[in-house]
Structure 1
Amino acid sequence: MTRRPFDAFVFDLDGTLVDTASELVAAYQRLCVEYGTGEQPYETVRKLISHGSGRLVTEATGIDQSDSRWEAYRQQYLDWYEEILGSSAVPYPGTVDIVAEIAKAGLVWGIVTNKFRRFAEPLMSRLDYEPAPASLVTPCDVSKAKPHPEPILLCCRELGVSPERAVYIGDHLRDIEAGNAAGCTTVAVKYGYIEDHDHPTNWGADVCLDTPSDLSAWIRSHL
């Protein structure tokens, strides 16, 4: 029997597996209204999401970490986000089904995210992925977050697979850098939270896909 090329599929969370933009943008707009210059265009904010809460706070308020108010604003943003966590986030089309197909094929799946466990765990518990990921690695679990390979290497250990037999899928350059450094096959997806000047085809991924449907089809072809 021919051996399958992969034993595990590992996903980034926001912008790859789950569309959380509506919630993250809502919390951002509240920050803009309270401490900034007013709401900004939805699509402009959406493209910033992958940069994390620090960048969002700076963009919304016009101050950076050198300002004594910055950390308080960041915590306020996270608290506002937590209030609406899971209220409108949705799986990208086809991802619930493809996770089930991965498991049915006898393979395992996991998540490596730069989202804090405080948010990642309850979010996943409110969505319909079955089975649940066999590993969920957040910055709380490692000393260095992506783009360092440590989180992906930890996930592979928890899944019981060699990194060379795993695929890592993400929508940001740091995802591909981390996956490549870990020794995984890497897949860049173009449908996530990507700024206009970013070009996923230049990130060095092994595969670059346009849509969630393309991702499902590619995974299905490797089961």
Structure 2
Amino acid sequence: MFRDIRCVLFDLDGTLIDSAPDLALAADEMRVRRGLPSLPVERYRSSAGSGARGMLGVAFGVTPDDPGFEALKDEFLGNYERRMTRLTAPFAEVDHLLSTLHRRGLNWGVVTNKSQRFTVPLTASITLFASASVIVSGDTTPHAKPHPAPLEEAMRRIGVEPRHCLYVGDDERDMLAGRAARVGTVAARYGYLGPGADAARWPADAAIDAPLQLLNLLDLA
């Protein structure tokens, strides 16, 4: 259990919101356009936390080092921008979790590697983000996670010290960023995790299998 926590920061995709359907279909549209068979959303889900790299890897088996990757990435991002609010929604229990934190006087916010191009309109389209104290995107600072800079910027904006802060995420880089920023870390094992991920090996202080379990760790249940 964590003590004297005044602020909880969260990763976005795979932690607060399920964006996998829109990410998957943005990539799958590209397959279909090229005459390839459509893949089910579940084939893409575990890679959703890796954004364009993950989705294009599933759709076409390419990596950022492959020729033509940047052109595919630009096409994917355009597809995603046009549809990113169609099927994306908060995970079950997230609304209750965030409203409880807000009601109990804790600041909460978002620290994501998603760029502002997507983060700003996406969070604006979902009502629960209106109570967020801060939203830091992947391009808000010169460095993205696992660098601690985004978390440090979020804490600076809120005015909270690391010892009073907690970071929740569904990827190892979230835990690494939290550790580097000297905040408590919680692995969200209900999230995307990534192909072959072993959350038990991440440098997390605790883990949860559903959003509301976080309240138990904060003694707020």
Q: TM-score, normalised by structure 1?
A: 0.90
Runs of 4+ in 1 over 4 A off after TM superposition: none
* Code of the aligned partner of 1:52: G
Q: Give deviations 1:154-174, integer Å, cap 9, x for gaps.
A: 001011101121000000000
Q: Give deviations 1:138-184, integer Å, cap 9, x for gaps.
A: 12211110011110010010111011210000000000000111001
User: What's the Cα RMSD here?
Assistant: 2.0
Distance 1:30 1:183 in 2: 41
* Aligned counterparts, 1:109-148, within 5 A: 109-129=108-128, 131-148=130-147
**Identical-pair percentage:** 32
Q: Structure 1: 5+ residue runs without aligned partners? A: none
Determine the structure 2 residue equivalent to 1:45: 44
Determine the structure 2 residue equivalent to 1:108: 107
Determine the structure 1 residue equivalent to 2:83: 84
Secondary structure, counterpart of 1:71 in structure 2 = helix
* Code of the aligned partner of 2:191: G
* Code of the aligned partner of 2:96: D
Q: Give deviations 1:171-223, integer Å, cap 9, x for gaps.
A: 0000000011100100001111124521112102001111223234434x258
Determine the structure 1 residue equivalent to 2:26: 27
Q: TM-score, normalised by structure 2?
A: 0.91
Deviation larger for 61-70 or 167-176: 61-70
Contact 1:48 1:193 in 2 (8 A): yes
* Aligned counterparts, 1:153-192, within 5 A: 153-192=152-191
Contact 1:5 1:222 in 2 (8 A): no
Determine the structure 2 residue equivalent to 1:10: 9
Shift of 1:73: 1.2
Contact 1:96 1:128 in 2 (8 A): no
Deviation larger for 27-36 or 157-166: 27-36
Q: Give deviations 1:26-83, integer Å, cap 9, x for gaps.
A: 1121122234843234222100111221232243233443444221211111111111
Deviation larger for 99-108 or 151-160: 99-108
Q: Give deviations 1:100-147, integer Å, cap 9, x for gaps.
A: 222222221110001111111111111121643111111221111001
Distance 1:62 1:35 in 2: 14
Contact 1:53 1:74 in 2 (8 A): yes
- Give the aligned length: 219
Q: Structure 2: 5+ residue runs without aligned partners? A: none
- Could you say if the C-alpha distance between residues 66 and 181 of structure 1 is closer, same or farther in structure 2, counting changes exceeding 3 Å? closer
Determine the structure 2 residue equivalent to 1:208: 207
